[in-house]
Amino acid sequence: MDTDYHRRLVEDRAPNIEIRTCESIVEGWDSHVLEVNGELIFRFPRWPSAAQNVEKEIALLPLLAAALPVQVPKFDLVVRDRPDGPVVFTGYDMIQGEPLSEAVLQSPSKRRSLARDIGELLTALHRMAFEGLEKANVNPVTADGWRQQYRDLFDRAQRDVFPLLSDDAKRAESAVWQEFLASDDNFRFAPVLLHADLFALHILCDDDKGTVVGIIDWAESQIGDPALDITGLLRDIGEEFTLEVLDFYAGNSDQGLMSRARFYAQLLPNDQVWFGQTHGVTDLVRTGLDDIETNARIK
């Protein structure tokens, strides 16, 4: 990330902000992120598709702020290249917290408190009404429609990923996809509003108090299977803590929730490969393929 370039953009388009300190922070797949004065966040979409997702967030975040028990970003600044043009960057007050980590979970009391907070915020999110979501370009989907989306993703994997795998990995991956898609039990859920990218990095915590203070990066939000929203916890923190979160989850739960989350977690390396192929990030392609090969050997 070119920190100086993005700083100049802020200085040019938001001259009322006095920049005392400026540093780039963790760079996501879709955005460059600048922290200013330890209190402001500026996000710069990296791709046209990312700019479109920012439009979704602009409409969705006020609805989330009214419904959830934790903070979400409030875009106080939206800069476009022209009045009706794409977003160049957004700015908002930084939510003061640290990403969820294994370290804070070593305290039994904080672990239980954080599990409760995450379970309760997922409950609130998954109970949100769909009314008004069309303005955020978040469109309804049925369980059957969700199944078709994953059939299409399987076709994409066979076309773009499988040719790059060993024969053993190809067979193992194909079996995982086919078993999931063939079972009607995997598609009996009631669709809910999802964060859809709820990894530990996006769950901000007060480590001293052992509480969740905010959830960031809502660009992938969609309607779909509630199991998708525990996939990030499953990958980043593990199954034991994820089950503790589910003890406090009163949303759209069913016996197959964890099983489906395991399936979605196994697909995550495909996302790395697809993103790398689309945007020419060869390291992501390589990492994704290596992870698929490793998963195949473990099975």
Q: How long, in residues, is the chain?
A: 299
Question: What does the pLDDT read at residue 50?
Answer: 94
> Strand order in 203-206's β-sheet?
98-99, 203-206, 211-215
Distance CA 42, CA 299 (A): 42
Residue 96 in this model has a pLDDT that exceeds 90: yes
Residue ranges and CATH numbers for the domains of the chain are 3-93 (3.30.200.20), 98-298 (3.90.1200.10)
The pTM assigned to this predicted structure is 0.95
* Tens digits of residue pLDDT in 41-83: 999 999 999 999 999 999 999 999 999 999 999 999 999 988 8
Question: Which among 232, 198, 202, 280 is positioned nearest to 25, based on CA atoms?
Answer: 202
Q: What SS3 class is residue 295? A: helix
Inform me whether the pLDDT recorded for 28 exceeds 80. no
pLDDT at 299: 65
What pLDDT score was predicted for residue 200? 98
- The dihedral over CA atoms of 155, 156, 159, 160, expressed in degrees to the nearest 10, equals -160
The two tokens of residue 244 are 């503790």
pLDDT attached to residue 2: 85
207 has which bridge partners?
Answer: none
Percent of the chain with pLDDT strictly greater than 70: 99
Q: How many CB atoms lie within 10 A of CB 27?
A: 11
The first and second tokens of residue 294, run together, are 């490793």
Cα 136–Cα 219–Cα 234 angle in degrees, nearest 5: 125
Please state the rounded mean pLDDT for residues 91-107.
Answer: 98
Among residues 159, 201, 206, 180, the alpha carbon closest in space to that of 266 is found at 180
Answer whether residue 6 shows pLDDT above 70.
yes
Q: What is the Cα–Cα distance from 230 to 249, expressed in whole angstroms?
A: 11
| pLDDT band per the 50, 70, 90 thresholds, residue 298 | confident
Cβ–Cβ < 8 Å for 239, 232: no
CA torsion angle 6 276 156 263 (round to 10)? -90
25 falls in which pLDDT band (50, 70, 90)? confident
Average pLDDT value over all residues in the chain: 96
In this prediction, residue 27 carries a pLDDT of: 65
CA distances from 175 to 169, 181, 202 (A): 10, 10, 32
- Distances in whole angstroms, Cα of residue 201 to Cα of each of 27, 127, 178, 204, 217: 11, 23, 31, 7, 9
Residues 285-294, mean pLDDT to the nearest whole number? 98
Q: What sign for the dihedral angle of Cα 279, 50, 99, 109? A: negative
- The values of phi and psi at residue 110, to 5°, are -70, -35
Span 232-248, pLDDT tens digits: 999 999 999 999 999 99
Q: How confident is the model at residue 1 (pLDDT cuts 50, 70, 90)?
A: low
Cα 74 to the chain's mean position, in Å?
Answer: 18
As a 3-state breakdown, the chain gives helix, strand, coil percent values, each rounded to 5, of 55, 15, 30
Mean pLDDT of 141-156: 98
Residue with tokens 């034991």: 240
What pLDDT does residue 290 have? 98
**Local structure of 194: helix, strand or coil:** strand
- What is the DSSP-derived secondary structure letter of residue 202? G
DSSP 47-77: SHHHHHHHHHHHHHHHHHHHH-SSB----SE
The pLDDT value given to residue 243: 97
Q: How far is CA 148 from the centre of its chain?
A: 21
